[in-house]
């Protein structure tokens, strides 16, 4: 656990900490070193002659207001790759709100590293961040105390999701994810888990989830996590794609495209992390998170192109591409969720669904597809406020031909290979009743953090969805 303290003077901080501040920060000592660092006009970093600090980093003030290009985060990342001190002092007296939230989540996420999985021989002497001193104005204290508490809880949920997603798929099977969800939820009395095994999945008519998972040695699971933070009221529902490894099935992926496919369960992992964050903050709401877990493998029982499977709402889907499996498990899970809570406030699903959304939006924006204008507006505003942004893509009847099938109600991919992301969302919308607001988040570009040719789980869009909850609760007060 990383501890923190809000301070109003540098004298309140313990010595030998790493001081990070805008180059224009007034409380900085009037010394030759500081003046020389300020004069560079760029990021200036010093580890010698910094007493009483261990290290000093001055960053141009423009980056503290840059809520568009993540400039401050880009400056901070290399500093924490090899920290000079377990304690950091950061001047947050003049910083854009969205940038502050991003920075706090980044700092609190330092509690976890890939080495924590103990799969690589590591140097245990490596310095780890353990304490944050935040330099603020007295008038900012009350609001910042709330912000720090919220962002640490969000980061804790992100860490739980990231750790789970980073585990190799030979260990991280559908049953393993279900076990981890039960173990993590057991720490909170407001959380409870139910798990459907492969037999129950068939008995409850989840034919699409069954079709995807039946080819694997590790059978599918459906996990429902219930959060009872309030005695009554509408249930907010979240559904996550949990393909623990995606070979593409008989529509086999090439090797390079398969390398990161252990991360095809990030949607499910992030649903789990979201509910853990809500429970840590004791949010006064009711929520349900549904994790649709399966391994898309090649085997004697693997689904075949041309197969037709029936979802739990009775609709049939022609599987004309076995590598479009994510929308199949999501469709069943969305329909199942709507049956459990026909009066749900909304259903939001999240998935690493299509590479096409990365081509459209890149790695910074999640794709948002919905026909509910209120939900679209609220999610967009929440993303801008917290720095975990979405961009809306079209979703209307012009996509109807993209999912037409001659033999079934729907087909799972468009035969013309066009509008892949929006077509997937058009398929999904058939599985949520029109009476329940629904939104689809394609996080293929944002669920991973890519740096230096390597990819690791990012924990997005947990910040977006938590901010969405905060905004809703603020309106309801």
Q: Where are the domains of the chain?
A: 3-155, 169-476
Answering whether pTM is above 0.85, one says: yes
**Which residues fall within 8 angstroms of residue 169, CB to CB, at 6 or more apart?**
244, 245, 261, 262, 295
**Which residues fall within 8 angstroms of residue 10, CB to CB, at 6 or more apart?**
19, 27, 28, 29, 89, 135
Rounded Cα distance, 86 and 78, in Å: 15
What percentage of residues in the chain have a pLDDT greater than 90?
A: 95
**Which residues fall within 8 angstroms of residue 17, CB to CB, at 6 or more apart?**
53, 54, 85, 87, 88, 89, 131, 133
> Does CATH place domain 169-476 in 1.20.1250.20?
no
Q: What's the CA angle centered on 158, arms 157 and 161, to 5 degrees? A: 90
Residue-level pLDDT at 279:
98
Q: Do 218 and 312 meet the contact criterion of CB atoms below 8 Å apart?
A: no
Strand segments, DSSP code E, in 270-360 are 286-296, 307-310, 316-319, 346-351
Rounded Cα distance, 146 and 148, in Å: 6
Residue-level pLDDT at 125:
67
Model pLDDT for residues 84-141, shown as the tens digit of each residue: 999 999 999 999 999 999 999 999 999 999 999 999 887 666 899 999 999 999 999 9
Residue-level pLDDT at 68:
93
Q: Choosing from 54, 87, 327, 376, which is the catalytic residue?
A: 327
Q: Is 327 a catalytic residue?
A: yes
Q: Choosing from 93, 128, 192, 253, which is the catalytic residue?
A: 253
Q: Is 38 a catalytic residue?
A: no
- As given in the structure block, the two tokens for residue 37 are 């660092």
Q: What is the mean pLDDT of each run of 10 residues along the chain (477 residues)?
A: 97 95 92 93 94 96 95 95 95 97 98 93 83 98 98 98 98 98 98 98 98 98 98 97 97 92 98 98 98 97 98 98 98 98 98 97 97 98 98 97 97 94 98 98 96 89 98 93
Q: Do 326 and 319 meet the contact criterion of CB atoms below 8 Å apart?
A: no
Q: Do 427 and 399 meet the contact criterion of CB atoms below 8 Å apart?
A: no
The enclosing H or E element of 472 equals: helix 462-476
> Does CATH place domain 3-155 in 3.40.220.10?
yes
- As given in the structure block, the two tokens for residue 286 are 């009711």
**Which residues fall within 8 angstroms of residue 168, CB to CB, at 6 or more apart?**
119, 262
User: Residue 234 class from Cβ within 10 Å (0-12 exposed, 13-18 middle, 19+ buried)?
Assistant: middle
Rounded Cα distance, 226 and 194, in Å: 8
């Amino acid at each position: 656990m990383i501890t923190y303290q809000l301070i109003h003077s540098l004298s309140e901080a313990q010595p030998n900490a790493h001081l990070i501040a805008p180059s224009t920060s007034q409380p900085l000592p009037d010394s030759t070193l500081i003046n020389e660092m300020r004069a560079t006009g760029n990021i200036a970093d010093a580890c010698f002659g910094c007493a009483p600090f261990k290290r000093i980093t001055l960053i141009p003030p423009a980056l503290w207001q840059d809520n568009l290009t993540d400039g401050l985060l880009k400056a901070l990342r290399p500093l924490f790759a090899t920290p000079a001190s377990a304690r950091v002092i950061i001047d947050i007296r003049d910083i854009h709100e969205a940038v502050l939230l991003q920075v706090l989540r980044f700092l609190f996420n330092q509690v976890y590293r890939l080495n924590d999985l103990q799969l690589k021989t590591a140097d245990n002497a490596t310095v780890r961040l353990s304490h944050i001193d935040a330099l603020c104005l007295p008038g900012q204290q009350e609001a910042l105390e709330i912000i720090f508490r919220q962002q640490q809880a969000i980061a804790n949920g992100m860490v739980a999701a990231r750790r789970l997603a980073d585990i190799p798929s030979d260990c991280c099977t559908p049953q393993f994810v279900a076990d981890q969800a039960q173990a993590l939820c057991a720490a909170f009395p407001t959380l409870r888990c139910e798990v459907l095994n492969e037999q129950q999945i068939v008995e409850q008519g989840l034919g699409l989830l069954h079709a995807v998972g039946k080819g694997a040695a590790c059978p599918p699971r459906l996990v429902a996590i219930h959060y009872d933070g309030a005695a009554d009221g509408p249930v907010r529902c979240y559904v996550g794609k949990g393909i623990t490894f995606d070979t593409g099935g008989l529509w086999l992926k090439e090797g390079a495209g398969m390398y990161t496919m252990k991360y095809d369960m990030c949607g499910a992992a992030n649903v789990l992390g979201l509910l853990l964050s809500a429970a840590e903050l004791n949010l006064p709401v009711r929520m349900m998170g549904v994790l649709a877990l399966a391994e898309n493998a090649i085997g004697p029982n693997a689904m075949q192109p041309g197969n037709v499977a029936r979802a739990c709402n009775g609709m049939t889907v022609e599987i004309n591409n076995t590598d479009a499996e994510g929308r199949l498990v999501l469709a069943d899970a969305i329909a199942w969720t709507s049956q459990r809570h026909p009066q749900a406030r909304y259903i939001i699903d999240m998935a690493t669904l299509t590479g096409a959304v990365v081509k459209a939006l890149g790695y910074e924006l999640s794709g948002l597809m919905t026909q509910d204008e209120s939900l679209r507006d609220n999610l967009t505003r929440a993303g801008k406020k917290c720095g975990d942004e979405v961009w809306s893509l079209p979703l209307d009847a012009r996509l109807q031909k993209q999912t037409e099938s001659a033999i079934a109600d729907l087909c799972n991919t468009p035969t013309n290979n066009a509008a892949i992301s929006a077509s997937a969302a058009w398929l999904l919308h058939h599985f949520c009743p029109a009476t329940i607001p629904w939104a689809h988040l394609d996080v293929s570009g944002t669920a991973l953090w890519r740096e230096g040719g390597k990819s690791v789980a990012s924990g997005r869009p947990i910040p977006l969805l938590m901010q969405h909850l905060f905004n809703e609760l603020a309106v309801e007060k």
